[in-house]
Amino acid sequence: MRAADLARAAAGALLDLVYPPRCAACGEAAAGAFCATCAEALEPVPAGCARCGLPGPDALCGGCRVGAPAFDAVRAGGLFGGPLADAIHALKYGGRPALARPLGAWLAARVPAPPGALVVSVPLARRRRIERGYDQAALLADAYVRGADRARRARTALARTRETRAQVGLAREERARNVDGAFAATPAVAGRDVILVDDVVTTGATADAAARALRRSGARSIVVVALARAE
pLDDT digits (tens, 9 = 90+) for 122-156: 998 888 889 899 999 999 999 999 988 789 999 99
Q: What DSSP designation does 148 have?
A: S
pLDDT beyond 90 at 229:
yes
The answer to whether the CB of 64 falls within 8 A of the CB of 213 is: no
Cα distance between residue 47 and residue 159, in whole Å: 32
Burial 164-177 (b: 16+ CB within 10 A, else e): beebeebeeeebbe
In the prediction, which pLDDT does 61 show?
A: 94
Cα 226 from chain centroid (whole Å):
4
pLDDT beyond 70 at 25:
yes
Please report which confidence band the pLDDT of residue 1 belongs to, taking 50, 70 and 90 as the band edges.
very low
Nearest to 50 by CA among 74, 67, 70: 74
Reported in sequence order, the residue ranges of the chain that DSSP labels E, i.e. its strands, are 73-79, 118-121, 152-153, 158-160, 183-185, 193-201, 221-229
pLDDT beyond 80 at 3:
no
Dmax (CA) for the chain in angstroms is 53
The answer to whether the CB of 51 falls within 8 A of the CB of 201 is: no
End-to-end CA distance of the chain: 39
pTM of the model as a whole: 0.86
Give the SS3 label for residue 120. Answer: strand
pLDDT digits (tens, 9 = 90+) for 148-199: 878 999 999 999 987 665 666 565 666 666 667 679 999 999 999 999 999 9
Cα distance between residue 213 and residue 157, in whole Å: 10
**Higher pLDDT, residue 95 or 11:** 95
